[in-house]
Structure 1
Amino acid sequence: MMLFLFVLRQCIPTQKKLISFLCTSTLNSGNSKNDSDAPVELKRNPYKKPDRKCLLCRTGIQLDYKNARLLQQFVSTFSGRLYDRHITGLCEHQQKKLIETIAISRRAGFMPIFVKDPKYVKDPKLFDPLKPIRPHSFA
């Protein structure tokens, strides 16, 4: 500001030249690349949550009807029924593939139909059926 007043006193007494000087000084100050008040453009949203992926998509596991040990993890120990998506945390696509694969495995004789195979009961759990990943309206 002080420099600006000093320049005005030293400068031109005519109106035209003073106006042209003021216009050029304001235009030059707006074009400076080191302006700290300028908005910063980000390439991505820093607050965006990472996409949630299901267990099979995240690890890249392919379902196979011959892999009864993996398929038994998604079957109830007591009833032999498949757990729903809200319990297993699988995406819709993987849940459909799981249902088809278990049906093929049961028809081929790799898995029992009504109960979980006793030799797979002590395998580590991929999820807790008593604490579903997403709440369900009927539970």
Structure 2
Amino acid sequence: MRIVILSIVFLLISCRKEADGIHKLSADDFIFKSGKYSFYDKEGSKTIQVREFKDGSLTFSFYDANRNSLYDYGSVKTFSSYQKWGIFLDKKSNLWFYNSDLQEHLILIKDTTGYTAREFPVDTVLPVKFKEWLKE
């Protein structure tokens, strides 16, 4: 009986998907498909929502626990799900985005006022996991 209870507790803790459909992200983690993803930092919970439309185009939005928008890619443009794309969360809670459809390199840098979005040049020092993935 004790083993069964411990097994159930272990399964509940190790599940990466909550009952409400939100996937938990941790540092050095990637997003490669549509859905809701959340992570925690000093200021609280943050959510990234990647939406896929019927035509295969994608967009994403990023907001805090109060649903205040931190960044909305969809208000600008969309990218293709048929090309290489990914969002990477680094150890400093920065988000790195790449899509081969538009050859776009974007970083959402965490700063004292929230997040600042900018394209990063090719010679930028990248997180190791993100750099390895770009080379694939």
Normalised TM-score (structure 2): 0.24
Structure (1/2) with the larger strand percentage? 2
Structure (1/2) with the larger helix percentage? 1
Determine which structure has greater relative contact order: mean sequence separation of CA pairs < 8 Å that are 6+ residues apart, divided by chain length: 1
